[in-house]
């Protein structure tokens, strides 16, 4: 859509290896916080439903559906945040916008931990929670595009896949931290303590994490690619691709991410409440199952990103989508079967997470390579946010409601397989050599 960017203009921090490493850390830590919180909210869905969405006399299923509706609402505000903050990031720079979004995310998450419940505040409590979820959605929408642009634009030649994979790895790390914090609380606290005040602790922990991320971003320079593309008094503004070309690239990016979004949230976030409702698993057992899936996810991401720098994004991502499309149903049936040994179920869950990791590892670099510098923050952020809004944010709501209406416990497998089939078709359009050139 545009000609290659001119040679990068590096600032003092980016001149040596400390520039890329610092950018990697600054981008990763904000993304870690975002997904830690979203994981905690998903893992504590049944507790949050009881505290905010289930007044006296209300049904447990109704409260859980409302909780997932609030979960989905935050995702639907991600595209708004991606468009708003992406436009700012493409015009003002990656650094100042990433500073703003980490402040918004940290503040909203901390306030959730201090929010009065339905029992003490009445009907205003779920509304206040929903408002904070909207703020989180807006800031999360601005986080991804900026973090991926930051990492890939600082990445040394031939290592964009590896650098971009850290964005996905911090998704896994955040989800694992969220499941670990929730599992520890569920183990050391009684049910009454967890429901009474213990659920607040993981949200309040975001405050020191956010302050650390803010410090890192305050001490970061602008990316070389943005600095090189920024107009000066002597130069004309860089050429921007047409709105139609950008919209087409965003639509294609959504298709390529559909399987990652749907399968990722099905296996990595929705699983705890699903197992509790369909197999009578305890909260501790459900969280252990999710931790195993997340371990497989995390273990596959960085190798998949590095491999995509060698053989291309296309074959690695196609393999992950194909594995989920073919094996999601038999895997879920074996996990549901009481006759399957515990170690067998654990291996299956690790493998399921690993298949998603094959899509998630090369995914960020693949998206960054689809857009030129002048619209990269906006374009890749919108593709990711729209895909997640529809296929991740709605996963819990769709799966829970579909199981309630049909009684079919295999709904999660159908959902993940169908989404990955869409991704297979979209990924076949990916060129084999896009990983070899420089960013446009």
**Is 14's pLDDT higher than 60?**
no
* pLDDT, position 429: 93
For 305-327, what is the mean pLDDT?
96
Question: What b-and-e string marks burial along 304-338, b requiring 16 or more CB atoms within 10 Å of the CB?
Answer: bbbbbbeebbbebbbebbbbbbebbeebbeebeee
CA atoms within 13 A on the CB side of 379: 29
Q: Percent of the chain scored above 90 by pLDDT? A: 40
Q: What is the mean pLDDT of the chain?
A: 84
Do 175 and 296 touch, CB atoms closer than 8 A?
A: no
Higher pLDDT, 88 or 6: 88
Position with higher pLDDT, 9 vs 40: 40
Cβ-based burial of 168 (10 A; exposed 0-12, middle 13-18, buried ≥19)? buried
What was the pLDDT predicted at 5? 44
Which of 153, 178, 132, 185 has its CA nearest to residue 27? Answer: 153
Mean pLDDT of 116-121: 84
Q: How far apart are CA 137 and CA 101, in angstroms?
A: 10
pTM of the predicted structure, to 2 decimals: 0.82
pLDDT of residue 55: 64
**Residue 313: its pLDDT value, please?**
95
For residue 437, the 8-state DSSP code is S
For residue 295, pLDDT over 60 is answered with yes
Q: 18-229+242-427 maps to which CATH number?
A: 1.20.1250.20
* Region for residue 407 given its phi and psi (left: phi exceeds 0; alpha: psi -120 to 50; beta: otherwise): left
pLDDT given at position 9 = 40
User: Worst-scoring range by mean pLDDT, 39-48, 113-122, 382-391?
Assistant: 39-48
DSSP sequence for 125-178:
HHHHHHHHHHHHHHHHHHHHHHHHHHHHHHSPTT-HHHHHHHHHHHHHHHHHHH
CA nearest 82: which of 222, 231, 313, 246? 246
**Whose structure tokens read 């009474």?**
196
- The pLDDT score that the predictor gives to residue 50 is 77
19-33 per-residue burial string, b: 16 or more CB within 10 A, e: under 16 = bbebbbbbbbbbbbb
Residues 198-226 have a mean pLDDT of 90
How is 56-100 classified by DSSP, letter by letter? TT--HHHHHHHHHHHHHHHHHTHHHHHHHHHHHHHHH-HHHHHHH
Report whether pLDDT(54) > 80: no
Let me know the angle formed at the C-alpha of 238 by 233 and 241, rounded to the nearest 5 degrees.
160
The residue-averaged pLDDT of 387-393 equals 82
- Written as six digits, the tokens of 417 are 């397989």
The answer to whether the CB of 102 falls within 8 A of the CB of 213 is: yes
Q: Which residue has the higher pLDDT, 291 or 79?
A: 79
Q: What is the mean pLDDT of residues 399-423?
A: 89
Query: For the residues 173-183, what does the mean pLDDT come to?
Result: 83
pLDDT tops 70 at residue 12: no
Structure confidence at residue 343 as a pLDDT band (50, 70, 90)? confident
Out of 50-54, 135-139, 336-340, least confident range:
50-54
Q: Where are the domains of the chain?
A: 18-229+242-427
C-alpha–C-alpha distance, residues 400 and 143, integer Å: 28
Q: Which of 234-238, 271-275, 386-390 is the most confident on average?
A: 386-390
The pLDDT of 247-264, averaged and rounded, is 94
């Amino acid at each position: 859509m545009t000609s290659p960017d001119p040679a990068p203009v590096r600032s003092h921090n980016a001149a040596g290896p400390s520039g890329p490493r610092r950018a990697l850390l600054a981008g990763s830590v904000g993304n870690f916080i975002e997904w830690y919180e979203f994981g905690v909210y998903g893992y504590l869905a049944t507790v949050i439903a009881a505290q905010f969405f289930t007044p006296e006399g209300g049904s447990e299923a109704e409260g859980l559906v409302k909780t997932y509706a609030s979960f989905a609402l935050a995702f639907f505000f991600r595209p708004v945040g991606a468009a708003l903050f992406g436009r700012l990031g493409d015009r003002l720079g990656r650094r100042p916008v990433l500073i703003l979004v980490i402040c918004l995310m940290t503040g909203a998450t901390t306030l959730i931990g201090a929010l009065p419940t339905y029992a003490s505040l009445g009907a205003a409590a779920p509304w206040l929670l929903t408002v904070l979820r909207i703020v989180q959605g807006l800031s999360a929408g601005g986080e991804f595009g900026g973090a991926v642009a930051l990492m890939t634009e600082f990445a040394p030649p031939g290592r964009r896949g590896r650098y971009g994979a850290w964005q996905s790895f911090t998704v896994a790390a955040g989800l694992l931290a969220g499941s670990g914090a929730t599992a520890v609380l569920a183990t050391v606290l009684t049910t009454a303590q967890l429901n009474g005040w213990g659920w607040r602790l993981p949200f309040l922990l975001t405050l020191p994490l956010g302050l650390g991320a803010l410090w890192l971003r305050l001490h970061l320079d602008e990316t070389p690619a943005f600095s090189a593309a920024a107009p000066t008094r002597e130069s004309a503004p860089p050429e921007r691709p047409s709105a139609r070309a950008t919209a087409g690239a965003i639509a294609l990016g959504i298709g390529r991410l559909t399987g990652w979004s749907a399968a990722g949230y099905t296996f990595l976030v929705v699983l705890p409440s699903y197992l509790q409702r369909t197999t009578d698993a305890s909260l501790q057992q459900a969280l252990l199952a999710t931790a195993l899936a997340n371990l497989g996810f995390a273990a596959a991401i960085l190798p998949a990103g590095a491999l995509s720098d060698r053989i291309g994004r296309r074959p690695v991502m196609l393999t992950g989508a194909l594995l989920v499309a073919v094996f999601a149903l038999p895997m879920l049936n074996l996990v549901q079967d009481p006759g399957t040994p515990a170690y067998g179920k654990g291996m299956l869950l690790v493998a399921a997470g690993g298949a998603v990791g094959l899509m998630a590892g090369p995914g960020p670099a693949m998206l960054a390579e689809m857009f030129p510098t002048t619209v990269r923050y906006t374009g890749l952020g919108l593709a990711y946010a729209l895909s997640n809004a529809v296929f991740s944010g709605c996963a819990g709501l769709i799966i829970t409601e579909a199981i309630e209406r049909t009684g079919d416990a295999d709904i999660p497998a159908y959902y993940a397989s169908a989404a990955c089939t869409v991704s297979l078709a979209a990924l076949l359009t990916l060129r084999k050599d896009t990983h070899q050139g420089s960013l446009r």
